[in-house]
A = this chain, B = another copy of it.
Amino acid sequence: MASTPKAADVPQGYFAEDVSDEVVLARMAESMDPRLRHVMTAVVKHLHALVKEVEPTQQEWEQAISFLTETGHMCNEWRQEFILLSDILGVSMLVDAINNRKPSGATETTVLGPFHVSGAPRYPNGANICLDGKGEPLLVTGRVTNTDGQPIANALLDVWQANDEGFYDVQQKGVQPDMNLRGLFTTDADGRFWFRSVKPRFYAIPDDGPVGQLLGQLGRHPYRPAHIHFIVGADGYEPITTHLFTPDCPYLTSDAVFGVKETLIADFRPVDDPERATELGFTNPFVTVNWDFALARR
């Protein structure tokens, strides 16, 4: 797709259907930024090829203009409808994949999502990030290692998740305590971390806008399977942004934003152990998950 059109092939720069992309590309100045030239060449070629393949009616073109306009008008400080569009078309995951091609052995990445908050509280291992006591108790344990399985001490884990009703604290200001189900943890000398929480629930992405309407027209639901978010980093290592998924969620194979990777489905186990529950300050039964993150050297 990337061959440069020859301006000489396009008589006087006048438009014609069969050379439509070449006419447009021939107008780009020699002096322009080379990266933007590369990007816009690909954009124009794919856009014209798409239009030629689909042959939209004038009315369908107007519908496309309206869809983009409504998507733009839906965006504000709290809502990013174009990111949502990128998410439901798999583009966000593709960009993530392209930018996170890791050596074999590193934990796979997935999308950051819109609910990360900077400045979550720093906790000692063992702390409970569930501040309102609501939900099914969960103990998360694990290690951060390098790709050879050697433990990494002082690795930082930034954790956030939805509650057992499928909402993040920022979506329920005044209902959930601020900074509910968020925290920063540091691994010990053996690379270990552990904290207490609740089992997360699936939730719907915002579907009251044009992107939600498109999802409906595609015959798709708006749900994301239950997961816990992590950003894990350590000095000298590539940080990773990823999720852990529960294995029993009905939406696991149909995540509205395609965020699931098979290697990120964890073994969340029910535990019936009244003594251990009491030690943890949990009601019995409860749930445990053990998970090791592997980081690649920079």
Contact = CB atoms under 8 A, between A and B. Distances in A.
A13 B21 CA distance: 35
A261 interface: yes
A96 B1 CA distance: 24
A160 interface: no
Contacts of A73: 72-73, 75
A204 interface: no
A283 B14 CA distance: 35
A46 B82 CA distance: 17
Nearest to A61: B95
Interface in A39-73: 39-40, 42-44, 46-58, 60-61, 65, 68-69, 71-73
Given A23-B90, A28-B219, A90-B21, A261 B72 contact: no
Contact of A33 (B32, B99, B217): B217
Contacts of A57: 99
The main secondary structure of chain A at its interface with chain B is helix
Nearest to A101: B17
Given A15-B260, A32-B219, A61-B92, 18 more contacts: A15-B93, A21-B90, A24-B258, A27-B218, A28-B220, A36-B217, A38-B54, A39-B56, A46-B46, A46-B49, A46-B53, A48-B94, A51-B94, A51-B95, A51-B98, A52-B94, A55-B98, A73-B73
